[in-house]
Amino acid sequence: MADINPSEIEQIVKQVLEGMHGNTGSSNTSSACTGIPSKGRVAMLTSLENFELKEFPIPPLGDHDMLVKVEGCGVCGTDAHEFKRDPFGLIPVALGHEGTGQIIAMGKDMKKDSAGKPLKVGDKVVSCMIFKDNPDITMFDLNKQNVGGADVYGLLPDDDVHHNGWFADYIVIRGGSTVFNVSDLSLDLRILIEPSAVLIHAVERAKTTGILRFNSRVAVQGCGPIGLLCIAVLRTMGIENIVAIDGQDNRLQFAKQMGADKSVNFKNYKDIENLAEAVKAAFGGYHADFAFQCTGSPAAHSNIYKFIRNGGGLCELGFFINGGEATINPHFDICAKEITTVGSWVYTLRDYATTFDFLKRAKGIGLPLDQLITHRFPLDQINEALKTNLSMQGLKIAIVNK
């Protein structure tokens, strides 16, 4: 010991301190500090109908965290409700949950996605907000530790991390979150994963009735993004005898491109009896075996029973939020016809993983899913994007970062 001179001791201490520093903070990531930004912008909803772009430092990543550079994020009806009314009382909040982007940095223990697929810097990912557990989940060997948990990026109240929503330059994905490697899907298809999962779930619910089969006659009422995706999911399953019902001719035209065989504009018919006759005529003189109700209109719910044959089925998925009460005649609409009805809301983790395969199949058979995204705004026009959504122009509105 006596042989070590003071300058050598200084050198050793320096090395030890450097070693310690190497085990803390941002240098503990597999990207070895290359390209990790020091700060990023977050679109923060600070008051009703008002996002402000705020810049926050990128926090040090924990061993299971990831930093993702946001490429794009769809605007959802939930975002629009929060923007207009703050029903969840989250303000100030970083919104955006239909997002996707590229991994920039990863904690040293983050190696696989929630389906067990390897993850590396450069991969494209989506997060998943899970609302429902599902006993079939083990079929995909999915990690379900966060079922019912709080990893709902885009609806988390603001905290010290700040980068909690996909309407941002970067998002911090915390350890244990549900995340999937979707590097094999284009940006447009990745933006459509979340809304598509809603339809995968609805069709799975419909299948439980035993009525929806190959070559079934299917009526899809409502040709917004949900109804159009419904048609695409049915088409990828081999169901081709689809009649689309809506009040806008341009949407009905698009429904045909998405796979509907025939379309009916309800505005051309003075009452439900005439409309029901028109739907029957579109099926060549038959009622529908099965119907999907994809509008948020109570009157549309009341009407749809008239399109369905005796012993047929109905999936109601249009009321994502409370849209009021609908009137039906239980004798004529349900009992006498022996209709089997299922409700559908959001999706399970299994539906989410199934959605990746649906998108590949839809692309494979040439369905123009990417045309569902009718408006693309840069992050600094987020207020305009939300207002465009609220004005009901277009179909899917998305924020796309350069």
Beta carbon of residue 153, minimum distance to Zn ion (angstroms, whole number): 12
Beta carbon of residue 129, minimum distance to Zn ion (angstroms, whole number): 8
Q: 3-class SS at 169?
A: coil
Closer of 269 and 320 to Zn ion (Cβ) = 320
176: left (phi over 0), alpha (psi -120 to 50) or beta: left
Beta carbon of residue 351, minimum distance to Zn ion (angstroms, whole number): 14
Residue 304 binds Zn ion (CB under 5 A):
no
DSSP string, 283-347: TTS--EEEEEE-SS-HHHHHHHGGGEEEEEEEEE---SS--------IIIIIITTT-EEEE--S-
Closer of 61 and 156 to Zn ion (Cβ) = 156
Beta carbon of residue 53, minimum distance to Zn ion (angstroms, whole number): 22
Question: For residue 266, what are its two tokens?
Answer: 């309800």
Closer of 98 and 158 to Zn ion (Cβ) = 98
Number of helices (H), then strands (E), belonging to the chain: the values are 10, 16
Which single residue brings its beta carbon nearest to Zn ion? 76
Closer of 70 and 76 to Zn ion (Cβ) = 76
Beta carbon of residue 276, minimum distance to Zn ion (angstroms, whole number): 32
Beta carbon of residue 365, minimum distance to Zn ion (angstroms, whole number): 25
Cα 357–Cα 363–Cα 368 angle in degrees, nearest 5: 130
- The residues in 42-81 that bind Zn ion, with binding defined as CB under 5 A, are 76
Q: Are 60 and 105 in contact (CB under 8 A)?
A: no
Residues in binding contact with Zn ion, number by CB under 5 A: 1
122 CB-near residues (< 8 Å, 6+ apart) = 102, 103
Residue 200 binds Zn ion (CB under 5 A):
no
Residue 12 and residue 16: Cα distance in Å, rounded? 6
Closer of 76 and 200 to Zn ion (Cβ) = 76
Of residues 57, 122, 81, the one with CA closest to residue 390: 81
Q: Report how far apart, in Å, the C-alpha atoms of 331 and of each of 69, 303, 305, 338, 381 are.
A: 55, 14, 11, 9, 51
Kindly report the number of other CB atoms within 10 A of residue 244's CB atom.
Answer: 30
Closer of 76 and 182 to Zn ion (Cβ) = 76
Closer of 76 and 260 to Zn ion (Cβ) = 76
Beta carbon of residue 76, minimum distance to Zn ion (angstroms, whole number): 3
Closer of 276 and 397 to Zn ion (Cβ) = 397
Beta carbon of residue 321, minimum distance to Zn ion (angstroms, whole number): 12
Residue 130 binds Zn ion (CB under 5 A):
no
Beta carbon of residue 363, minimum distance to Zn ion (angstroms, whole number): 21
Closer of 154 and 313 to Zn ion (Cβ) = 154
Residue 324 and residue 321: Cα distance in Å, rounded? 9
Cis peptide upstream of residue 225 (ω within 30 degrees of 0): no
Closer of 191 and 243 to Zn ion (Cβ) = 191
**How many CA atoms lie less than 13 Å away from 393 in the CB half-sphere?**
10
Helix (H) or strand (E) holding 125: strand 124-127
Binding site for Zn ion (CB under 5 A): 76
